[in-house]
Structures are given as C-alpha cells and as structure tokens.
Structure 1
Amino acid sequence: MPLRTPLALLTAALTAATCLTAAGPAQAHTRHDCSPAVSIDGYSDALDKTTYENTYVGNFSALAMDRDGSLAALSDRSSLFRLDARTLKPRSVVPLTDENGTALDSEGLAVDRDGTRMVTSETEPSVRRYSRTGRVLDRLPVPDALRVSPAGRARPNGTFEGLTLLPGGRTLLASMEYALSGDDSTIVRFQTWRRTPHGHFTLGAQYAYRTDPGLGVPEVQATPDGRLLVLERGFTSGVGNTVRLYLADPRGATDTSGIDTLPARPEARLIKKTLLTDLVTCPSLGATAKQPQPNPLLDNIEAMTITGRTKNTLRVLLASDDNENKTQTTRFYALRVRTTT
C-alpha cells in the first residue's frame, strides 16, 4: 500500500535500520522539529487496513525491539506480529491466549533478555510470560487493588496499558491507564516486579504518576538511564486526539503500594515529569486524517518503543491503534528525542 505522504520507505537508521525518512536524498536528514526536545523524521501508513495470513494487521497497542533486530508489534486482539524493522512488512504472527485458550485484551509488551515475551491483558488485569511460539510460561502476581472492579478498584479498560523492563532487566514496570476508584482522577499507579534468582518475578514497589487532566497513560518505556518516556493520550469527539510525550523520573518517588488512596496526607512524592512535546506541534508532513484532528498527523497513538540512541538522543518509534475503524489509521511515527532537558 502506498504511503499517504511524500515520505517514502524506511531507509535510514532508527537502530541501524529503522527510520521513516523523507523521500529525496536531499531531504533524508531534514529535521522536522516538534519542540526543542523532539523532532519527527517521518511517518508511514503502509500497514493501514491490511491483512497477513488472514489476520488483520492493526489494533497495535505495543511495540518492542526483538533480540534478532526485528520489531515485535502487539495487537490488542490477541495477535503478536513480527515486522521487518526496515520495511514494516509482517514476517510472522502468533496468536496469544490465556491458560484456558481464551483471547486476551493484550495491551503491554516487553521482550526479555532470553527472548520470551511479557504481555499484559487489561481484562483482569494480568501479566504473563510467553514463549516465542505463544505458549504461556508464567503468570505474575497482581495487587488486589489493581484488579478490575468488583474484585479491585480499577475501572474496566483502564488497567495495565504500558509495560517495560528497566535497565539491567531486573525490574519490570507496568503503567495503569487510569486512576483507581478512590484515588484522585489524575493520579495513576505504576506497578513494578523484581526478578528473583530463579528468573521469576515478585511484586515490587509501586509509584504514583499525575497525568494532565482528562488524559490517560497508554504506554511507558524505560530510557537507558532509568528514567521513563511516558505517553499521555486523550480523545475529544469532534476535536480529535491529544498526545503528549513526557520524560519522567521515578527515582525519589514514594512507594505507594501500602497507601490506600492518593494523594495521601502528607502527600506522597509523585514521579516527577517534564514535558518533551505535545505532538500537535509537530509539522503535519502532508498527512491526512479520516476524522477531525487538531493536526492531521495525529491519530490514536498507543504504542511506543526505543529503537536506538546516539549520545543524548533516543530514536523512538510510535504506532497508532486504528481499532479496525474506517475513521482511524494504523500509522507509524519515527521520532528523535533528546533527554538532556
């Protein structure tokens, strides 16, 4: 499928090979600034409304770089794709289910150092480890309060959306999309697990993060220095999407696992965050939107992974979840993010 913009194929590096760039050689290194900290190299609609091996390619909720250099792309309809990191072409697809063979509402993805996949489902919510072939290997414990009501205090479709391994691979972190019942509506909880000597994960510290009003957290990714890239997203009918990218630092934040309601008195120390960009400020690059958007480049952006770095600049790939909706687009975005702010 042709791209919907003069930006053509993936040619320059996001790792050594993954970047959406301008079509002509003279434009290949043109910077398109969204803010002092973020620029966009390009975007691709190449996978929009396509299928692979009778499976719909879309509904992307998470991305991760695999051990072999390919791109793992998770659909929230229980499918895990392997994409060519240069062209985005699907190379394989694996169905995912729970232990009983039931499909997941799969949202978060992290690829472990041994190549196993860790996947969240926001239905319960849950975190499971899978083999490359989709076999369930393990299931991580989840605090009772984070379970969906009435078992816990989480709202349906508002639980574990983001998943990331912190540097060193000893700590796994999942981000809730929305606040728990009883907490301030702008405070979401980030849950961690610690790896045991036997390779399993046990519950670790929990942290509180304050979103902008009306926004939730669809994705989080650990940076090489232990900070976090956090996506905040919202949607207003007739207006479109709001998508903001923050740099957050959990170091120094209070462990909130023993605090019933937030903010506590005295208020717990929240994760500190710094705005990197509101993506509405990015150049549109000739993009078109199928529904009203404040910038036609925007869509329902939900997936993010760090694909490489040079000094203080991270190469970041985003993807949107089209919900198999004709008014939305499966779109990939290649960003350069400077983390010296």
Structure 2
Amino acid sequence: MTTTVIPVSGADPYDVVVGRGVLAELADRLGPRVRKVLVVHPPTLGARAAALREALADRFEVYLAEVPDAEDAKRVEVAAFCWQILGQTDFTRSDAVVGFGGGSTTDLAGFVAATWLRGVRLVQVPTSVAGMVDAAIGGKTGINTAEGKNLVGSFYAPAAVLVDLDLLDTLPRNELLAGFAEIVKCGFIGETEILDLVEADVDRVTDPASDEFRRVVELAIGLKARVVGEDFTDLGVREILNYGHTLGHAIEYAERYRWRHGAAISVGMVFAAELSRLAGRLSDDAVDRHRRILDSLSLPTDYPVGRWDTLLSVMRRDKKARGSVLRFIVLDAIGKPTVLTGPEDALLFAAYQDVGV
C-alpha cells in the first residue's frame, strides 16, 4: 500500500507519514548524526519496543524507557526517570528520543526531548487513533500536575511523525472508538466529510482495514497539520482544535484520569454544542447531529449533573482562560468554529444541564 506524506509547515517543518509498514522508515527519519536513541514506551508495548530496538541496533545504540500506561505516564516523576536514563547513558544534543505509544506516551516523550539539554531530536510513532490524529502532531508536549491536565509543557516540533496503521490491528475496539472522538472533532470544526463518512457506514469507517478509515484519519491529520502550521504556539486559530476540550479536560481531572480521553472529549463536545445553541449560534439539528454521531460510536454524551461546581473550578484553570475570563470554542454552524469569551455562569450551567443526568 502506498504511503501518504502530509507536510506540517512552520519554523521547523516536518512530515507526517501515513500508511502500512511506515515504521520501517524510523532509522532514516532519525537522521545520520544520531548515535543514541531512547525509545519511550508503555508496558503493553514492551515486546514491540524490544523488537524495535533490535531493528535499530545495526545503526544506533538503543535504550528503552518503560513508562506507565495512559495519563499515569504524564507525571514529573516519570519525566525525571527518563532524564536519569539520558544522563546515565551520556545522551548529547545530537542524539534522539522516540515516542512509541499512545497520546500520553508521545506527550511525555516530547516533553523529555524538549527539555533534555534544551532540546534533542524527536520522532513520534503513535500507536493509538488519538495519538495518530492529534497528540503526536503539532508539537504540544507536556505533563500533568495535581492542579490539572497539561499545565506544564512546551511547544517542540518533532523531526517526523510515523503513522503506521499496522499498529492498530491489535488495538481493542473500545480504545479505537475512544480515539474517534478526536477524528469527529475535526469533522465538527472543519472537515465535514468525516461526519458524512461516519453517518454513511459507521462499521466500515471504524475498520482499520478499510479505505474509509484511512480516509478519515488522513482528513483529520490534514486539518491539524494546516492549523498548527499556521499557529504553532496556540495564539490564534489553533484554539479551534480544543473544541470540546475545556469541559473534557475537567472531566478527566474529576475522574482522576480513569475515563478515556475520547470519552471525556465526547461529553465536552456535546456541552460545547449545547452552549453554542443557547448562545444563539447553532441550530437544534446541528446539536442533535452531535449526539447521533457520538452515540453511533458508542461514546458518552452525558455526565452526572451534580458535578458542576467541581468542573467549573477546574475549567477556570484551563489554558484558554484569560485571567478570570473563561473562553470556549463553539460553533456558528457545523464546520465553522469560533471563540465565545466570558459567557455568563448561568448560560454555562444551563448548557451543562442539557448534558447532565
């Protein structure tokens, strides 16, 4: 099968390579100057990480850093563990880090690469749907703190992102569907063909072996590549990629990260749609379309109504807030995102009532 190369422009341009078997390009993408490589991976990918080390051994001195699964990886103690390995094995600025795992792993690996010696080469190899279409692309790296998600981090562009669809063949169905929240988000904010494909045949579009699956993955990557190429440091248009994320991140925090990211973002998107409707921007039919699509993907669209005070306090610490003023990405129509600044608390609570159970 042919590969698709999606360029990401900016001060440090790079390619996102999509296809099957593209992991074979890793050695070349690391570049001729690199001598040592740290592969950061979760326990579930231990065997594959070991095989990757063997595949790279002819050209590089390869070390493995096994880190916890999911959001447990995004802690300063885990980053310090990776820094310790880099220090004890004498990594220099001409060496490299590889993020090999889901979005949490690539977030952590990116942060480690950005901070070691103020920046070493980074190649991301995402192994989850959300990692492939979102987390590994765009150069946002970070860890969580006790106060919230992604509050410590940096913008740091990788040298390449390798999206090898072969890595999804053994992904559990529920993990794959959770990752689709980030794909349909791109449909709601711009690539409306994604929504049409999901509505036409949800089973086929969520089958990693299908042409439709690859199509929606490439559409989502293409949208993100265009947006981050225009606004790398999140000062303008890049904010639209946070559709559903303000409430979604608050839900993740409230649930102590036991909810999958995609599940929380799904509820967040319904909340954002309801907020858009109550603000007089979005039609009832468009809100209903959110629920139908997310329901078809077995993603949640509601959350306990009694948790509002906790969620509101977390949202006030959101990165998009300016001082005490909350800001939300909302829709004027499907595919037309905008920013709603400083909505009244009563309006926010009313929107939440519409997703509460």
Report which structure shows greater RCO (CA 8 Å, sep ≥6).
1
TM, length-normalised to structure 1: 0.29
Larger proportion of strand:
1
Larger proportion of helix:
2
TM, length-normalised to structure 2: 0.28
